[in-house]
Amino acid sequence: MPSIDRPPTEVGCPIPANTPHAVSVTLPSWKANVAYEEGQDWVVSKMKSGYPRFFYHEKIRELFEIVEAKFGQPGEKSIIFPSYKVACKCRDFILAKTTTVPTPNVRVVEVTVPPPSAEVQANVYVIFYTGSDAEAALAKAFWQHTGDGISSRQAEYVGDRLKSAQTTKSEPKPVEVFKAAKTFKRYARRLGVLSPASVPSSEDESDGSREFSTYVEERFGRNLDISFIKEAKIAIRRRIAGTMDDNLDLSQILASSPQLSTRNIEGLGEDDVFLYPTGMSSIFNAHQLLLSCFEPRESICFGFPYIDTLKILNKWGPGCFFYGNGEPEDLVEIEKFLQAGNQILGFFCEFPSNPLLKSPNLKEIRRLADKYDFLVVVDETVGNFLNIHVLEYADIAVSSLTKVFSGDSNVMAGSLVLSPVSKYYNKLKTYLAEEYEDNFWAEDAIFLERNSRDVASRIHRINNNAEALSDLLSKQPKVKQVFYPKLSPTRSFYDQCKTEQGGYGGLISIVFHNPESSKAFFDAVGTAKGPSLGTNFTLLCPYTVLAHYTEQEWAAQYGVDAHLVRISVGLEPTEELVGTFAKALESC
């Protein structure tokens, strides 16, 4: 069981520490978070990692430099994607949004590298664009909002291949071809148990660049060999569909047959689950799916959402209507709007919402959707499918698997699940059967399969810890408000979706009466501090500072206080966790 005695405290240190592909990064004080948002050098210069959609991982930056040196023209910059289709979408986005005159040159180049196994597609697609700040900002915006960029593990693989491969170059040529090279060494290793004495010294490692931490993570982390990628993805999809027991090893996975889903939906199976490289990618592609299958119309964004969901709905397609408070009265207004003859494409909401933990009335939303013919897309990341069942009311459920499904904070992923009881199911399923691209990098899937084997037991423990911590916080006179589904005015809406064994999740937000108390409390808490949530360890962030630093007044209109502290509760011993927070409360 993890301890919170010694969390990372150095600015810019990866979270978890010594993890080459860590998802979070240490911002240990309120001041450091503000400095990060303002781009102050004392923080930014120390950033060794960051949340991957907002921060280019060092292996990704290295790959940018490699392709620019090998294939770029003077003044060009690059950004890299795992498929031609995604790269073209980025190119089109840049060209559609640019205000540069004349229109900049933006081109797509395919870079071919030998795959790690026959089951894996390793080629990448490079957008080259003239290197102005405006185009760089647009490329970065596409990367952030869609979540469809190349992963750091794929960048590492491709970069190592490009550094060692002999190249044949003939400009202008749309595809760069590399001579065959041996399969990347690390993927050839078979699953096995080694003693610590068998860890090689640096001279034993033929690829010399491997860090000790990477070696330990892969060799002692119960990972499957890359050749089992098909089985790993089947296992992930079965877990999400609720058709596989918890804590199965590879032999049990291969020997077992899918069982009836525990998600309370008849006919749900692994074929209804689609994997994406990030949670935001699953939301972006859900919206793209609706735009492709139905007449493009505005959608509704209901409740204060995670930042990029609203960006996606506004920047792609006709736009959206934003009901940021997400109150029952807003549903009354929406029905009046629809009764007047207005039509919408989709209804997007979180269950519960991040960071205010409000739960929309899904039963009423489903009634409206059936009456006025629109689709319902529910982000179940915060609630998670073991605590809540939303597919009775949603046509599509999306989730960030980066969060509690993984827990280890070392891999990005997302899922999209079609509800078999939706009247739109056949149309959506038929389209995805033809158009879906599996851009989820193989090694990321291997890590996610490993991490998610014990997801059910972890969620149960996190639920218990969060309830205990919410009890402590709700009794503190210094705390103005505790946001938590169990304590929310919308609890009844949560409870109508809560599973028999489910709890209220692991996310809590708090606001103090005195803003200075928020800063003092945050600085004093002896836990990890950085972006992300759903980690196996407790993780704090000053949410509004990180997500809405330049738009705090706008966020405040919807109840998101500028000094809100978000707490993602982990697996620490309950008494230790409560004691840590009690001590921090005394300091403010």
Strands 346-350 and 299-302: parallel
The residue type found at 345 is L
Please give the pLDDT value at position 175: 39
Which DSSP state fits 478?
T
Contact of 136 with 144, CB cutoff 8 Å: no
| Whether residue 542 has a cis bond before it, omega within 30° of 0 | no
Residue 210 pLDDT exceeds 80: no
Residue 201 pLDDT exceeds 60: no
Cα 558 from Cα 355, distance rounded (Å): 11
Contact of 583 with 350, CB cutoff 8 Å: no
Residue 470 pLDDT exceeds 60: yes
pTM of structure: 0.90
Cα 395 from Cα 391, distance rounded (Å): 7
Q: Write out the residue limits of the CATH 3.40.640.10 domain(s) in the chain.
A: 227-453
Residue 358 pLDDT exceeds 60: yes
Tell me the average pLDDT of the chain.
89
Residue 215 pLDDT exceeds 70: no
Mean pLDDT score, 307-334: 96
Residue 192 pLDDT exceeds 50: no
The Cα-based distances of 401 to 39, 265, 405, 412, 553 in angstroms read 29, 21, 5, 7, 31
In this structure, which topology does domain 227-453 adopt according to CATH?
Aspartate Aminotransferase; domain 2 (3.40.640)
Please give the pLDDT value at position 257: 83
User: Could you tell me the pLDDT band of residue 403, with boundaries at 50, 70 and 90?
Assistant: very high
- Closest alpha carbon to 124 in 274, 21, 237, 277: 277
CATH of 14-50+456-586, one of 3.40.50.300, 3.90.1150.10, 3.30.1360.70, 3.80.10.10: 3.90.1150.10
Query: Residue 102 corresponds to which tokens in the numbers above?
Result: 């004349």
Strands 414-418 and 528-529: unpaired
More confident residue, 512 or 179: 512
Q: Which residues pair with 110 in a beta bridge?
A: 125, 175
User: Could you tell me the pLDDT band of residue 223, with boundaries at 50, 70 and 90?
Assistant: low
Radius of gyration of the chain (CA): 23
Which DSSP state fits 191?
P
Mean pLDDT score, 267-296: 97
Contact of 354 with 325, CB cutoff 8 Å: no
Beta-strand ranges (E) seen in 278-418 are 299-302, 320-323, 346-350, 375-379, 396-400, 414-418
Q: Write out the residue limits of the CATH 3.90.1150.10 domain(s) in the chain.
A: 14-50+456-586
Residue 217 pLDDT exceeds 60: no
